Amino acid sequence: MARRFGGRFSPQSSAGQPLDPARAAPRPVVPRHPLQSRTRWITVMAVPFLLTAFGQDPAGLVAHLLAFGAVAAGMGLTREGLQAEAEYDARPIARRPAIPRKLFGGVLTGLGLAIGSYSPDAAAGAGLIGLAGLALHWLAFGADPMRDKGMEGVDSVAQDRAHRLLAEAEAHLSAMQDAILRTGDRRLEARLAMFAASARALFSRIEQAPGDASAARRYLGVYLQAARDATVKFADLYAQTRDPRARQDYETMLTDLETRFEQRREALVQGDRVNLDIEIGVLRERLEREAPRPDELSRALTLDDLLIPRETDKTR
């Protein structure tokens, strides 16, 4: 008799259930700068300022504590600046960070080194150490992004509006994922993760084309807010009753939402293609209309041809 074999990598599990959809759902990737770990090591290297502070006189105690605090605060700002730079690099359209955190972090680091090495007999040397620390900080971590990326032809007002809508939509989506954890059901968490992947695909589309935010405003606000409220109520109900009908209705709602979000994203892409075809058609028509005639190519242009308009130009 034939026997069915299966494993965790088979399309069907041994119990006849489909493979866990969590493996098929893409996870959101949080950008991370490869140099962020350096800030922790530099903070650890400033610990001697803290340890030797309590063996000093009151002025030395305050100076060493300030030195450690300045270096630690500088590394904190640098870490935030590196995170902002990673998010800036990950986006095709991005504004420069409003606050140059790495620059301020370098200044605080150099200031901390100068304070920690200060002595009345070698004030100039302490200043040089601080400047050297600032220069080494710049060499180690680089400068902050100082210009906008991909902002040519993008309305700044529309981009700000799109960023606000995306922030609210991401908050609704995170609230849904937090609420579904109360059910303790891994498959429901995976199903919601699949819907979140479809929603974030639409988010990415809006982020690349902020002008489309008005067309997707209902999806980013009304639909996700209603889905969040429904998820909270379902999680409370299902955690107490384990009602299979409520679960089926909730999964059907997620399927409908996922389909709607994918259709909206495809519609936005198709709209861009139509606009591109129109622009290309207009350009071709203009080139054909303004192309020189054969009789004009056979003779050289004179000064009268340049100064006196042609009859065809007058009719236009």
CA 299 vs CA 16, 138, 163, 294, 302: distances in Å: 83, 64, 58, 9, 9
Whether 83 and 33 have beta carbons less than 8 Å apart is answered as: yes
In the predicted model, what is the mean pLDDT of the chain?
78
CA–CA gap between residue 46 and residue 51 (Å, rounded)? 9
- What dihedral do alpha carbons 173, 178, 183, 186 form, nearest 10°? 80
Higher pLDDT pick, 26 / 253: 253
274 pLDDT exceeds 70?
A: no
Cβ-in-10-Å burial (0-12, 13-18, 19+) of 217 comes to middle
Q: How many CA atoms lie within 13 A of 193 on its CB side?
A: 16
Nearest to 152 by CA among 100, 95, 206, 86: 95
Amino acid at residue number 204: S
Quote the tokens at residue 14.
Answer: 């041994």
Backbone φ and ψ of 12, nearest 5°: -120, 140
23 pLDDT exceeds 50?
A: no
Question: Sign (positive/negative) of CA torsion 111, 116, 119, 124?
Answer: negative
pLDDT tens digits, 252-268: 999 998 888 888 888 87
Cβ-in-10-Å burial (0-12, 13-18, 19+) of 127 comes to middle
pLDDT at 17: 44
pLDDT at 32: 80
Question: Sign (positive/negative) of CA torsion 253, 255, 261, 266?
Answer: negative
pLDDT tens digits, 117-143: 888 888 889 999 999 999 999 999 988
Amino acid at residue number 97: P
pLDDT at 129: 92
Mean pLDDT of 290-316: 56
Name the band, by pLDDT with cuts 50, 70 and 90, for residue 205.
confident
CA–CA gap between residue 214 and residue 10 (Å, rounded)? 43
**What is the pTM (predicted TM-score) of this model?**
0.55
Please tell me which of 96-110, 147-161, 212-226, 267-281 the model is most confident about, judged by mean pLDDT.
96-110
Quote the tokens at residue 189.
Answer: 């968490």
